[in-house]
Amino acid sequence: MTPSRKTFNRRDFLTKTLAGAGAATFLSCAKKPQSSGSEASPGPAPAITPKEKPLVSRALGKTGILLPIVNMGVMNADNPDLVRRAYELGMRHFDTAAGYWRGKNEEMVGTVLADLNARSKAVIATKVAIPPAQRESLSPVALKDAFVRVFEGSLKRLKTDYVDILYIHDVSNVEDIKRPGFLDALGTLKDQKKARFVGFSCHQNMAACIDEAIGSGAYDVLLVAYNYAMQDDERLKASLGAAAAKGIGLVAMKTQCMQSWYKDELPPDQQAFYSGSIVQTAVLKWVLRNEAFACAVPGFTNFRELEEDVSVARDLTLTDEEKTFLADRKIRLAMAHCVQCGGCRSTCPAGVDTPTLMRAHMYLRYPNVFQARATLESLPAGRGLDGCASCASCVARCRGRIDIGRRIGQLKIHFA
Ligand code: SF4
Ligand code: SF4
Protein backbone atom coordinates (compact mmCIF):
# COMPACT_ATOMS: atom_id res chain seq x y z
CA MET A 1 0.00 0.00 0.00
CA THR A 2 1.19 3.46 -0.72
CA PRO A 3 -0.15 5.61 2.08
CA SER A 4 -1.47 9.02 1.21
CA ARG A 5 0.52 12.01 2.33
CA LYS A 6 -2.11 12.60 4.99
CA THR A 7 -1.80 9.05 6.31
CA PHE A 8 1.95 9.27 6.34
CA ASN A 9 1.88 12.45 8.36
CA ARG A 10 -0.50 11.00 10.88
CA ARG A 11 1.49 7.83 11.20
CA ASP A 12 4.75 9.69 11.35
CA PHE A 13 3.32 11.37 14.38
CA LEU A 14 1.92 8.19 15.89
CA THR A 15 4.84 5.91 15.15
CA LYS A 16 7.38 6.45 17.87
CA THR A 17 10.10 4.54 19.47
CA LEU A 18 10.20 3.91 23.16
CA ALA A 19 13.62 5.39 23.62
CA GLY A 20 14.32 5.68 27.30
CA ALA A 21 10.78 5.16 28.42
CA GLY A 22 10.55 1.41 27.94
CA ALA A 23 7.48 -0.69 27.47
CA ALA A 24 5.57 0.78 30.41
CA THR A 25 4.97 3.72 28.08
CA PHE A 26 2.80 1.52 25.87
CA LEU A 27 -0.09 1.87 28.22
CA SER A 28 0.59 5.25 29.64
CA CYS A 29 -1.98 6.81 27.36
CA ALA A 30 -4.53 4.06 27.86
CA LYS A 31 -7.48 4.75 30.11
CA LYS A 32 -7.75 2.45 33.09
CA PRO A 33 -11.09 0.66 33.33
CA GLN A 34 -13.35 1.92 36.07
CA SER A 35 -14.08 -1.52 37.39
CA SER A 36 -10.56 -2.74 37.92
CA GLY A 37 -9.97 -4.15 41.34
CA SER A 38 -6.54 -4.77 42.78
CA GLU A 39 -4.57 -4.13 39.60
CA ALA A 40 -0.83 -3.86 39.71
CA SER A 41 0.63 -0.39 39.45
CA PRO A 42 2.90 0.30 36.48
CA GLY A 43 6.30 -1.18 37.16
CA PRO A 44 9.70 -0.76 35.65
CA ALA A 45 10.24 -1.30 31.95
CA PRO A 46 11.75 -4.62 30.88
CA ALA A 47 15.51 -4.55 30.71
CA ILE A 48 16.88 -3.43 27.36
CA THR A 49 20.58 -3.73 26.90
CA PRO A 50 22.27 -0.62 25.55
CA LYS A 51 23.02 -2.33 22.24
CA GLU A 52 19.41 -3.17 21.51
CA LYS A 53 17.13 -0.81 19.69
CA PRO A 54 13.88 -0.11 21.53
CA LEU A 55 10.69 -1.60 20.15
CA VAL A 56 8.80 0.58 17.71
CA SER A 57 5.29 1.41 18.84
CA ARG A 58 2.11 2.63 17.15
CA ALA A 59 -1.27 3.85 18.31
CA LEU A 60 -4.15 1.38 18.15
CA GLY A 61 -6.60 3.52 16.25
CA LYS A 62 -8.49 5.92 18.48
CA THR A 63 -8.37 3.68 21.55
CA GLY A 64 -5.58 5.63 23.22
CA ILE A 65 -3.53 2.44 23.51
CA LEU A 66 0.05 2.51 22.31
CA LEU A 67 1.52 -0.88 21.47
CA PRO A 68 4.74 -2.39 20.22
CA ILE A 69 4.28 -3.24 16.57
CA VAL A 70 4.87 -6.95 17.18
CA ASN A 71 3.01 -8.85 19.86
CA MET A 72 1.92 -12.39 20.59
CA GLY A 73 -0.82 -14.39 18.95
CA VAL A 74 -1.00 -17.03 21.65
CA MET A 75 -3.14 -19.55 19.77
CA ASN A 76 -0.37 -21.95 18.82
CA ALA A 77 1.62 -21.73 22.03
CA ASP A 78 1.28 -24.21 24.85
CA ASN A 79 4.39 -23.19 26.79
CA PRO A 80 3.83 -20.57 29.53
CA ASP A 81 7.55 -19.74 29.43
CA LEU A 82 7.11 -18.51 25.85
CA VAL A 83 4.40 -16.09 26.97
CA ARG A 84 6.59 -15.01 29.89
CA ARG A 85 9.58 -14.45 27.62
CA ALA A 86 7.46 -12.45 25.16
CA TYR A 87 6.48 -10.16 28.01
CA GLU A 88 10.07 -9.85 29.20
CA LEU A 89 11.15 -8.84 25.71
CA GLY A 90 8.59 -6.03 25.68
CA MET A 91 5.52 -7.48 23.98
CA ARG A 92 2.41 -6.17 25.69
CA HIS A 93 -0.52 -7.40 23.62
CA PHE A 94 -1.63 -11.01 24.01
CA ASP A 95 -4.27 -12.32 21.64
CA THR A 96 -6.21 -15.40 22.68
CA ALA A 97 -9.76 -16.79 22.38
CA ALA A 98 -12.28 -18.72 24.40
CA GLY A 99 -12.09 -21.54 21.89
CA TYR A 100 -8.33 -21.99 21.77
CA TRP A 101 -7.46 -25.28 23.42
CA ARG A 102 -10.97 -25.29 24.92
CA GLY A 103 -10.10 -22.40 27.21
CA LYS A 104 -6.64 -23.64 28.25
CA ASN A 105 -5.00 -20.94 26.15
CA GLU A 106 -6.82 -18.21 28.07
CA GLU A 107 -5.95 -19.92 31.35
CA MET A 108 -2.27 -19.88 30.39
CA VAL A 109 -2.33 -16.17 29.52
CA GLY A 110 -4.17 -15.35 32.75
CA THR A 111 -1.81 -17.41 34.87
CA VAL A 112 1.37 -15.96 33.36
CA LEU A 113 0.19 -12.36 33.65
CA ALA A 114 -0.96 -12.98 37.21
CA ASP A 115 2.42 -14.53 38.09
CA LEU A 116 4.17 -11.51 36.60
CA ASN A 117 1.74 -9.16 38.39
CA ALA A 118 1.38 -7.59 34.98
CA ARG A 119 -2.35 -7.46 34.22
CA SER A 120 -2.54 -3.67 34.18
CA LYS A 121 0.48 -3.45 31.88
CA ALA A 122 -0.86 -5.93 29.35
CA VAL A 123 -3.45 -5.54 26.62
CA ILE A 124 -5.50 -8.72 26.44
CA ALA A 125 -7.72 -9.56 23.49
CA THR A 126 -10.03 -12.53 23.50
CA LYS A 127 -12.73 -13.79 21.16
CA VAL A 128 -16.12 -15.36 21.56
CA ALA A 129 -17.23 -17.76 18.85
CA ILE A 130 -20.87 -18.54 18.18
CA PRO A 131 -21.34 -21.15 15.42
CA PRO A 132 -22.80 -19.69 12.20
CA ALA A 133 -25.97 -21.77 12.40
CA GLN A 134 -26.73 -20.41 15.88
CA ARG A 135 -26.05 -16.83 14.82
CA GLU A 136 -28.93 -17.12 12.41
CA SER A 137 -31.31 -19.30 14.41
CA LEU A 138 -31.11 -17.69 17.86
CA SER A 139 -33.25 -14.71 18.75
CA PRO A 140 -31.31 -11.49 19.43
CA VAL A 141 -31.80 -11.94 23.18
CA ALA A 142 -30.72 -15.58 23.12
CA LEU A 143 -27.68 -14.73 20.97
CA LYS A 144 -26.68 -11.97 23.34
CA ASP A 145 -27.09 -14.27 26.34
CA ALA A 146 -25.03 -17.02 24.69
CA PHE A 147 -22.26 -14.57 23.81
CA VAL A 148 -22.15 -13.04 27.31
CA ARG A 149 -22.17 -16.48 28.94
CA VAL A 150 -19.10 -17.60 26.98
CA PHE A 151 -17.36 -14.31 27.71
CA GLU A 152 -17.93 -14.59 31.46
CA GLY A 153 -16.06 -17.89 31.29
CA SER A 154 -13.20 -16.09 29.52
CA LEU A 155 -12.91 -13.55 32.33
CA LYS A 156 -12.60 -16.35 34.88
CA ARG A 157 -9.98 -18.18 32.87
CA LEU A 158 -8.03 -14.99 32.26
CA LYS A 159 -8.18 -14.15 35.99
CA THR A 160 -9.35 -10.63 35.34
CA ASP A 161 -12.51 -8.56 35.54
CA TYR A 162 -12.10 -6.96 32.11
CA VAL A 163 -10.44 -7.49 28.76
CA ASP A 164 -8.98 -4.70 26.68
CA ILE A 165 -10.35 -5.97 23.37
CA LEU A 166 -13.28 -8.32 22.87
CA TYR A 167 -13.80 -9.74 19.39
CA ILE A 168 -16.63 -11.62 17.78
CA HIS A 169 -14.65 -14.61 16.58
CA ASP A 170 -14.52 -15.30 12.87
CA VAL A 171 -16.84 -12.94 11.03
CA SER A 172 -17.03 -13.31 7.25
CA ASN A 173 -20.61 -12.26 6.64
CA VAL A 174 -21.59 -8.60 6.73
CA GLU A 175 -24.92 -9.60 8.28
CA ASP A 176 -23.08 -10.63 11.44
CA ILE A 177 -21.55 -7.17 11.73
CA LYS A 178 -24.97 -5.58 12.14
CA ARG A 179 -26.64 -8.51 13.95
CA PRO A 180 -28.55 -7.09 16.95
CA GLY A 181 -27.63 -9.92 19.33
CA PHE A 182 -23.91 -9.31 18.81
CA LEU A 183 -24.22 -5.53 18.98
CA ASP A 184 -26.29 -5.74 22.19
CA ALA A 185 -23.77 -8.08 23.80
CA LEU A 186 -20.78 -5.92 22.88
CA GLY A 187 -22.53 -2.71 23.92
CA THR A 188 -23.61 -4.13 27.26
CA LEU A 189 -20.16 -5.49 28.07
CA LYS A 190 -18.61 -2.16 27.18
CA ASP A 191 -21.10 -0.34 29.41
CA GLN A 192 -20.25 -2.74 32.23
CA LYS A 193 -16.55 -1.98 31.74
CA LYS A 194 -15.88 -5.66 31.12
CA ALA A 195 -14.63 -4.93 27.61
CA ARG A 196 -12.82 -1.69 26.98
CA PHE A 197 -12.93 -1.99 23.19
CA VAL A 198 -14.77 -4.28 20.80
CA GLY A 199 -14.34 -5.64 17.32
CA PHE A 200 -14.29 -8.84 15.29
CA SER A 201 -11.77 -11.15 13.70
CA CYS A 202 -12.00 -11.78 9.99
CA HIS A 203 -10.44 -14.29 7.59
CA GLN A 204 -12.77 -14.22 4.59
CA ASN A 205 -14.64 -11.54 2.67
CA MET A 206 -12.42 -9.11 4.54
CA ALA A 207 -12.75 -5.97 2.42
CA ALA A 208 -16.55 -6.06 2.57
CA CYS A 209 -16.52 -6.75 6.31
CA ILE A 210 -14.09 -3.90 6.98
CA ASP A 211 -16.19 -1.53 4.89
CA GLU A 212 -19.29 -2.55 6.84
CA ALA A 213 -17.48 -1.99 10.14
CA ILE A 214 -16.45 1.49 9.06
CA GLY A 215 -20.03 2.32 8.18
CA SER A 216 -21.50 0.90 11.39
CA GLY A 217 -19.29 2.92 13.74
CA ALA A 218 -19.74 0.15 16.33
CA TYR A 219 -16.26 -1.35 16.21
CA ASP A 220 -13.02 -0.06 17.71
CA VAL A 221 -10.53 -2.72 16.64
CA LEU A 222 -10.41 -5.32 13.85
CA LEU A 223 -8.22 -8.39 13.71
CA VAL A 224 -7.50 -9.10 10.06
CA ALA A 225 -5.62 -11.89 8.28
CA TYR A 226 -2.92 -10.23 6.23
CA ASN A 227 0.25 -11.54 4.67
CA TYR A 228 2.57 -11.35 1.70
CA ALA A 229 0.38 -13.68 -0.35
CA MET A 230 -2.19 -10.84 -0.44
CA GLN A 231 0.10 -8.29 -2.01
CA ASP A 232 -2.04 -7.91 -5.13
CA ASP A 233 -5.31 -7.42 -3.25
CA GLU A 234 -5.79 -3.70 -3.84
CA ARG A 235 -9.41 -3.78 -2.69
CA LEU A 236 -8.36 -5.10 0.73
CA LYS A 237 -5.54 -2.57 1.02
CA ALA A 238 -7.97 0.27 0.25
CA SER A 239 -10.39 -0.93 2.94
CA LEU A 240 -7.57 -1.23 5.47
CA GLY A 241 -6.44 2.31 4.69
CA ALA A 242 -9.99 3.63 5.02
CA ALA A 243 -10.48 1.90 8.37
CA ALA A 244 -7.21 3.28 9.73
CA ALA A 245 -8.14 6.76 8.53
CA LYS A 246 -11.41 6.45 10.49
CA GLY A 247 -9.50 5.59 13.65
CA ILE A 248 -10.27 1.87 13.75
CA GLY A 249 -7.34 0.02 15.27
CA LEU A 250 -6.08 -2.71 12.92
CA VAL A 251 -4.22 -5.77 14.12
CA ALA A 252 -2.69 -8.21 11.62
CA MET A 253 -2.81 -11.97 12.11
CA LYS A 254 -1.75 -14.91 9.94
CA THR A 255 1.23 -12.77 9.04
CA GLN A 256 3.68 -15.54 8.18
CA CYS A 257 1.38 -18.07 6.63
CA MET A 258 3.51 -19.18 3.78
CA GLN A 259 6.58 -20.56 5.41
CA SER A 260 7.77 -24.13 5.43
CA TRP A 261 4.30 -25.55 5.94
CA TYR A 262 3.66 -26.07 2.26
CA LYS A 263 7.20 -26.85 1.26
CA ASP A 264 6.36 -30.40 0.26
CA GLU A 265 4.00 -29.09 -2.44
CA LEU A 266 6.77 -27.18 -4.20
CA PRO A 267 9.35 -28.18 -6.80
CA PRO A 268 12.76 -28.82 -5.15
CA ASP A 269 14.32 -25.59 -6.49
CA GLN A 270 11.59 -23.52 -4.83
CA GLN A 271 11.80 -25.37 -1.52
CA ALA A 272 15.13 -23.68 -0.88
CA PHE A 273 13.35 -20.33 -0.48
CA TYR A 274 11.66 -21.58 2.62
CA SER A 275 14.70 -22.18 4.76
CA GLY A 276 16.21 -19.84 7.28
CA SER A 277 14.88 -16.99 9.31
CA ILE A 278 14.78 -14.61 6.36
CA VAL A 279 11.26 -15.74 5.54
CA GLN A 280 10.11 -15.12 9.09
CA THR A 281 11.42 -11.57 9.23
CA ALA A 282 10.92 -10.48 5.61
CA VAL A 283 7.24 -11.30 5.40
CA LEU A 284 6.50 -9.83 8.83
CA LYS A 285 8.26 -6.60 7.87
CA TRP A 286 6.25 -6.57 4.66
CA VAL A 287 3.01 -6.66 6.67
CA LEU A 288 4.03 -3.94 9.11
CA ARG A 289 5.34 -1.61 6.45
CA ASN A 290 1.66 -1.12 5.69
CA GLU A 291 1.13 1.58 8.27
CA ALA A 292 -2.61 1.04 8.37
CA PHE A 293 -1.77 -1.67 10.88
CA ALA A 294 -1.07 -0.73 14.46
CA CYS A 295 0.59 -4.05 15.16
CA ALA A 296 0.76 -7.73 14.34
CA VAL A 297 0.18 -10.80 16.49
CA PRO A 298 2.29 -13.53 14.90
CA GLY A 299 1.68 -17.00 16.28
CA PHE A 300 5.27 -17.99 17.07
CA THR A 301 5.67 -21.33 18.75
CA ASN A 302 9.28 -21.35 19.90
CA PHE A 303 11.93 -19.04 21.31
CA ARG A 304 13.84 -18.73 18.03
CA GLU A 305 10.78 -17.44 16.20
CA LEU A 306 10.02 -15.13 19.11
CA GLU A 307 13.49 -13.58 18.92
CA GLU A 308 13.18 -13.18 15.16
CA ASP A 309 9.81 -11.47 15.50
CA VAL A 310 11.12 -9.16 18.23
CA SER A 311 13.96 -8.16 15.93
CA VAL A 312 11.34 -6.96 13.45
CA ALA A 313 9.71 -4.86 16.17
CA ARG A 314 13.06 -3.11 16.67
CA ASP A 315 13.65 -2.24 13.02
CA LEU A 316 11.37 -2.49 10.00
CA THR A 317 14.16 -1.68 7.56
CA LEU A 318 14.48 -4.41 4.95
CA THR A 319 17.96 -5.83 4.61
CA ASP A 320 19.35 -6.27 1.09
CA GLU A 321 18.79 -9.99 1.43
CA GLU A 322 15.18 -9.49 2.47
CA LYS A 323 14.59 -7.08 -0.42
CA THR A 324 15.93 -9.65 -2.85
CA PHE A 325 13.80 -12.33 -1.27
CA LEU A 326 10.59 -10.30 -1.49
CA ALA A 327 11.27 -9.11 -5.04
CA ASP A 328 11.97 -12.57 -6.42
CA ARG A 329 9.15 -13.58 -8.74
CA LYS A 330 9.79 -17.25 -8.06
CA ILE A 331 9.07 -16.67 -4.41
CA ARG A 332 5.79 -15.05 -5.27
CA LEU A 333 4.91 -18.02 -7.40
CA ALA A 334 5.91 -20.35 -4.64
CA MET A 335 3.52 -18.76 -2.19
CA ALA A 336 1.07 -21.53 -1.65
CA HIS A 337 -0.96 -19.92 1.06
CA CYS A 338 -4.75 -19.78 0.82
CA VAL A 339 -5.70 -16.11 1.00
CA GLN A 340 -9.30 -17.04 1.83
CA CYS A 341 -10.61 -15.16 -1.20
CA GLY A 342 -13.61 -17.51 -1.41
CA GLY A 343 -13.14 -17.99 -5.14
CA CYS A 344 -13.31 -21.77 -4.92
CA ARG A 345 -16.51 -21.88 -2.88
CA SER A 346 -18.82 -22.30 -5.84
CA THR A 347 -16.61 -24.75 -7.71
CA CYS A 348 -17.45 -27.81 -5.60
CA PRO A 349 -20.69 -29.33 -6.91
CA ALA A 350 -21.43 -30.81 -3.48
CA GLY A 351 -21.45 -27.39 -1.81
CA VAL A 352 -18.49 -28.11 0.46
CA ASP A 353 -17.10 -25.01 2.18
CA THR A 354 -13.67 -25.39 0.60
CA PRO A 355 -12.22 -22.06 1.88
CA THR A 356 -12.89 -23.07 5.48
CA LEU A 357 -11.42 -26.51 4.82
CA MET A 358 -8.30 -24.78 3.50
CA ARG A 359 -8.13 -22.76 6.72
CA ALA A 360 -8.46 -25.94 8.76
CA HIS A 361 -5.59 -27.38 6.71
CA MET A 362 -3.47 -24.33 7.52
CA TYR A 363 -4.07 -24.92 11.24
CA LEU A 364 -3.10 -28.55 10.76
CA ARG A 365 0.18 -27.38 9.27
CA TYR A 366 0.96 -24.86 12.02
CA PRO A 367 0.76 -27.46 13.66
CA ASN A 368 -2.34 -26.82 15.75
CA VAL A 369 -4.45 -29.92 15.44
CA PHE A 370 -6.86 -28.71 18.08
CA GLN A 371 -7.71 -25.55 16.12
CA ALA A 372 -7.96 -27.51 12.89
CA ARG A 373 -10.50 -29.82 14.49
CA ALA A 374 -12.41 -26.90 16.03
CA THR A 375 -12.60 -25.22 12.62
CA LEU A 376 -13.92 -28.39 11.01
CA GLU A 377 -16.47 -28.81 13.79
CA SER A 378 -17.71 -25.24 13.28
CA LEU A 379 -19.01 -26.14 9.82
CA PRO A 380 -22.67 -27.05 9.37
CA ALA A 381 -23.51 -30.66 8.42
CA GLY A 382 -22.73 -31.37 4.80
CA ARG A 383 -20.42 -28.36 4.34
CA GLY A 384 -17.29 -29.94 5.79
CA LEU A 385 -15.42 -33.19 5.30
CA ASP A 386 -18.67 -35.10 5.75
CA GLY A 387 -20.08 -33.42 2.62
CA CYS A 388 -17.08 -34.18 0.44
CA ALA A 389 -17.82 -37.08 -1.87
CA SER A 390 -14.13 -37.80 -2.49
CA CYS A 391 -14.63 -37.47 -6.23
CA ALA A 392 -12.19 -39.43 -8.35
CA SER A 393 -10.73 -36.10 -9.30
CA CYS A 394 -11.59 -33.06 -7.16
CA VAL A 395 -13.05 -30.36 -9.38
CA ALA A 396 -12.87 -27.60 -6.74
CA ARG A 397 -10.54 -25.03 -8.25
CA CYS A 398 -8.33 -22.43 -6.61
CA ARG A 399 -7.78 -19.05 -8.26
CA GLY A 400 -4.18 -19.40 -7.19
CA ARG A 401 -2.08 -22.51 -7.17
CA ILE A 402 -3.53 -24.48 -4.28
CA ASP A 403 -4.29 -28.13 -4.85
CA ILE A 404 -7.57 -28.22 -2.95
CA GLY A 405 -8.22 -31.92 -3.47
CA ARG A 406 -4.80 -32.84 -2.11
CA ARG A 407 -5.28 -30.79 1.03
CA ILE A 408 -8.77 -32.15 1.62
CA GLY A 409 -7.33 -35.64 1.25
CA GLN A 410 -4.75 -34.84 3.92
CA LEU A 411 -7.46 -33.52 6.22
CA LYS A 412 -9.41 -36.73 5.74
CA ILE A 413 -6.42 -38.87 6.58
CA HIS A 414 -5.87 -36.93 9.75
CA PHE A 415 -9.45 -36.56 10.92
CA ALA A 416 -11.10 -39.68 9.53
S1 SF4 B 1 -13.60 -34.06 -3.92
FE2 SF4 B 1 -13.58 -31.82 -4.34
S3 SF4 B 1 -15.24 -31.49 -5.84
FE4 SF4 B 1 -15.58 -33.53 -4.92
S5 SF4 B 1 -17.00 -33.15 -3.21
FE6 SF4 B 1 -14.91 -33.07 -2.36
S7 SF4 B 1 -14.34 -30.90 -2.44
FE8 SF4 B 1 -16.12 -31.14 -3.78
S1 SF4 C 1 -8.22 -22.21 -2.00
FE2 SF4 C 1 -7.71 -20.61 -3.51
S3 SF4 C 1 -9.69 -19.92 -4.34
FE4 SF4 C 1 -10.11 -21.06 -2.43
S5 SF4 C 1 -10.23 -19.49 -0.84
FE6 SF4 C 1 -8.10 -20.27 -0.88
S7 SF4 C 1 -6.97 -18.89 -2.25
FE8 SF4 C 1 -9.19 -18.55 -2.64
Q: Is 342 in the pocket of ligand 2 (CB under 6 A)?
A: yes
Quickly state the pLDDT bin for 324 (edges 50, 70, 90). confident
Between the CA of 199 and the centroid of ligand 2 the distance, in Å, is: 25
Q: Is 403 in the pocket of ligand 2 (CB under 6 A)?
A: no
As a whole-number percent, the residues of the chain with pLDDT over 90 amount to 64
The domain covering 5-331 belongs, at the CATH homologous superfamily level, to NADP-dependent oxidoreductase domain (3.20.20.100)
Between the CA of 44 and the centroid of ligand 1 the distance, in Å, is: 56
Q: 56-86 pLDDT, tens per residue?
A: 999 999 999 999 999 999 998 999 999 999 9
Between the CA of 349 and the centroid of ligand 1 the distance, in Å, is: 7
Q: Is 341 in the pocket of ligand 2 (CB under 6 A)?
A: yes
Position with higher pLDDT, 337 vs 200: 200
Protein residue with its CA nearest to atom 6 in ligand 2? 338
Q: Please tell me the predicted confidence (pLDDT) of residue 264.
A: 63
Quickly state the pLDDT bin for 267 (edges 50, 70, 90). low
Protein residue with its CA nearest to atom 4 in ligand 2? 344
Protein residue with its CA nearest to atom 6 in ligand 1? 388
Between the CA of 361 and the centroid of ligand 1 the distance, in Å, is: 15
Q: 358-413 pLDDT, tens per residue?
A: 999 988 887 788 889 989 998 999 999 999 998 888 999 998 878 899 999 999 99
Q: Please tell me the predicted confidence (pLDDT) of residue 38.
A: 32
Between the CA of 409 and the centroid of ligand 1 the distance, in Å, is: 10
- 345 Cα nearest atom in ligand 2: 4
Between the CA of 349 and the centroid of ligand 2 the distance, in Å, is: 16
Residues with CB under 6 A from ligand 1: 348, 350, 352, 354, 388-391, 394-396, 405, 408
Between the CA of 398 and the centroid of ligand 1 the distance, in Å, is: 12
Q: Lowest mean pLDDT of 112-121, 260-269, 369-378, 402-411, name the range.
A: 260-269
Quickly state the pLDDT bin for 201 (edges 50, 70, 90). very high
Domain ranges of the chain: 5-331, 345-415
Between the CA of 255 and the centroid of ligand 2 the distance, in Å, is: 17
For range 101-121, the mean pLDDT: 97
Q: Lowest mean pLDDT of 7-21, 172-186, 296-310, 362-376, name the range.
A: 7-21
Q: Please tell me the predicted confidence (pLDDT) of residue 49.
A: 54
Pocket test residue of 402, 404, 408, 410 for ligand 2, highest count of atoms within 8 A of CB: 402
- 355 Cα nearest atom in ligand 2: 5
- 343 Cα nearest atom in ligand 2: 3
| Per-residue three-class SS string for the chain | CCCCHHHHHHHHHHCEECCCCCHHHHHCCCCCCCCCCCCCCCCCCCCCCCCCCCCEEEECCCCCCEEECECEEHHHCCCHHHHHHHHHCCCCEEECCCCHHHHHHHHHHHHHHHHCCCHHHCEEEEEECCCHHHHHHCCHHHHHHHHHHHHHHHHHHHCCCCEEEEEECCCCCHHHHCCHHHHHHHHHHHHCCCEEEEEEEECCCHHHHHHHHHHHCCCCEEEEECCHHHCCCHHHHHHHHHHHHCCCEEEEECCCCCCHHHHHHCCHHHHHHHCCCHHHHHHHHHHHCCCCCCEECCCCCCHHHHHHHHHHHHCCCCCHHHHHHHHCHHHHHHCCCCCCCCCCHHHCCCCCCHHHHHHHHHHHHCCCHHHHHHHHHCCCCCCCHHHCCCCCCCCCCCCCCCCHHHHHHHHHHHHC
